[in-house]
């Protein structure tokens, strides 16, 4: 029995331990004012978005600056599905009948929003998965711009710059925690699967991976679609939390924030994605309050734009001093207890037990110099 529990802990120990830590922080937030709880729910949505980005970037080594376009798709689709039919008839009289007549509950709306983002990603993944480096970064930026323009001009469906409003708010603390757990389990299962291992091998050495029979474009495409699904879910949760969405929500500011979270935490590990999202969410909120003239409850001179400046400085310093992020690309280790019948692992006086994915961790040794990044 102890051996079975040990294997279960080893298989899912990291995402479960991360989830327990997130639950503790969320429960602490519920003891404060309602505004703090709303901020905590927003932080949980950020965790889903960062984990979604990590699934592609962390495993492929190719940076994507256009993932918020999938959050935009997920947010609009979920918002349109969750809005009552009567309200859509008033706000969107020129929309197609399929858009006006369909209605779903919050859970179904979030799932469909994620699936819609995955379908869009499957289409654009065909050309994008064949390029890397600076070309991939520029292509994803153009994708973000294109989706934002479409959302701003499609008056009959998105209401243009006005955006969608009066969306039923269904993203509560338990709902957000449930989707965080799903995102963690999906990301962890993928990176430990044969697909994730092959993609990480291509990140380590693309030429050697292709020579060994790995189809790098296919592996990147799979990760891209799965990543888009989780990002679309995050966008849907965001829309159902605020009750509104517009084309400017998931644009450059939010893109910069999500990338900062992943970089500061450590893009080479799921643990880094979670740590970075929680830490930067808290720091960004403190800085936003300082912009408005309040710092930890004390009056301070208002400094508009302070959050962006400080986050930019922190990002540059981290890239210079600790490129691997706060976690250095390492995963949280699940503690194992050995019973009387268990054989303890051998201990070497010179080296610890090797990690099968250590050779492809982001920023590990010479791999960091071969990583595709713009």
Examine residue 347 and state whether it is found in any structural domain, yes or no: no
- Give the model's pLDDT for residue 204: 83
Full-model pTM: 0.84
CA-closest candidate to residue 59, choices 305, 226, 301, 277: 226
Same-domain check for residues 218 and 261: no
Domain match, 258 and 236 both: no
Residue 27: Cβ within 10 Å count: 12
Find residue 266's DSSP bridge partners.
none
Q: By residue range, what is the domain housing residue 287?
A: 251-331
* 363 occurs within a structural domain: no
Residue 156 in domain: yes
Residues 117 and 232 in one domain: yes
Looking at the structure, do residues 242 and 255 belong to the same domain, yes or no? no
Same domain, 209 and 286: no
Helix/strand/coil (H, E, C) string of 296-323? CCEECCCCCCHHHHHHHHHHHHHHHHCC
Task: Let me know whether 201 and 255 are in one domain.
Answer: no
Q: Are residues 88 and 228 in the same domain?
A: yes
Q: Is residue 342 assigned to a domain? A: no
pLDDT at 370: 41
161 found inside a domain: yes
Output the pLDDT for position 236. 97
Same domain for 105 and 60: yes
> Residue 346 domain-assigned?
no
The answer on 257 and 244 residing in a single domain is no
Task: Indicate whether 8 belongs to any domain.
Answer: no
Residue 288 lies in a domain: yes
Residues 135 and 140: their CA atoms lie apart, in Å, by 9
Task: Give the residue from 249, 284, 309 where a domain finishes.
Answer: 249
What the block records as the tokens of 157 is 């469906």
For residues 196 and 276, membership in a common domain is answered with: no
- State the angle between helix axes of 2-30 and 34-60 in degrees (0 to 180), rounded to the nearest 10: 140
> What tens digit of pLDDT does each residue of 191-242 get?
999 999 999 998 888 888 888 889 999 999 999 999 999 999 999 999 999 9
Q: Check whether residue 202 and residue 327 sit in a common domain.
A: no
Q: Which residue among 216, 249, 282 closes a domain?
A: 249
pLDDT tens-place string over residues 73-89? 999 999 999 999 999 88
Q: How many domains does the chain have?
A: 2
Q: Which residues of the chain have pLDDT under 70?
A: 1-10, 294-300, 302, 334-374
Cα–Cα distance, 272 to 264 (Å, whole number): 8
* Helix extents (H) in the chain: 2-30, 34-60, 68-82, 85-91, 97-101, 106-128, 133-153, 155-158, 173-192, 194-204, 206-211, 216-242, 252-265, 270-291, 306-321, 367-370
Q: Are residues 155 and 241 in the same domain?
A: yes
Q: Between the CA of residue 139 and those of 47, 63, 100, 227, what are the distances in Å?
A: 25, 11, 33, 17
């Amino acid at each position: 029995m102890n051996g079975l529990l040990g294997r279960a802990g080893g298989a899912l120990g990291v995402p479960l331990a991360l989830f327990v830590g997130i639950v503790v922080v969320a429960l602490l937030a519920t003891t404060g004012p309602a505004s703090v709880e709303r901020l905590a729910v927003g932080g949980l949505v950020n965790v889903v978005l960062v984990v979604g980005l990590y699934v592609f970037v962390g495993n492929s080594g190719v940076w994507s600056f256009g993932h918020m376009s999938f959050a935009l798709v997920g947010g609009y689709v979920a918002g349109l599905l969750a809005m009552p039919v009567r309200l859509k008839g008033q706000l969107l009289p020129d929309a197609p009948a399929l858009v006006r007549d369909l209605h779903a509950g919050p859970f179904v709306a979030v799932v469909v929003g994620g699936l819609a983002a995955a379908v869009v990603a499957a289409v654009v993944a065909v050309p994008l998965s064949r390029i890397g480096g600076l070309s991939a970064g520029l292509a994803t930026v153009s994708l973000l711009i294109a989706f934002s323009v479409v959302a701003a001009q499609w008056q009959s469906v998105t209401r243009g710059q006005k955006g969608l409003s009066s969306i039923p708010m269904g993203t509560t603390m338990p709902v957000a925690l449930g989707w965080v757990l799903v995102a963690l389990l999906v990301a962890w299962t993928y990176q430990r699967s044969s697909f994730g291992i092959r993609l990480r091998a291509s990140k380590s050495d693309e030429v050697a991976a292709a020579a060994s029979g790995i189809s790098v474009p296919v592996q990147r495409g799979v990760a891209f679609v799965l990543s888009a699904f989780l990002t679309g879910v995050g966008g849907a949760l965001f829309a159902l939390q605020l009750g509104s969405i517009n084309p400017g929500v998931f644009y450059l500011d939010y893109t910069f924030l999500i990338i900062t979270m992943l970089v500061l935490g450590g893009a080479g590990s799921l643990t880094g994605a979670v740590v970075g999202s929680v830490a930067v969410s808290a720091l960004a909120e403190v800085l936003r309050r300082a912009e408005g003239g309040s710092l930890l409850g004390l009056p301070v001179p208002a400094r508009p734009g302070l959050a962006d400046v400080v986050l930019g400085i922190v990002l540059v310093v981290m890239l210079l001093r600790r490129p691997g992020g706060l976690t250095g690309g390492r995963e949280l280790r699940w503690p194992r207890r050995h019973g009387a019948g268990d054989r303890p692992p051998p201990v070497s006086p010179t080296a610890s037990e090797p990690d099968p994915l250590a050779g492809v961790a982001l920023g590990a040794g010479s791999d960091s110099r071969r990583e595709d990044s713009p």
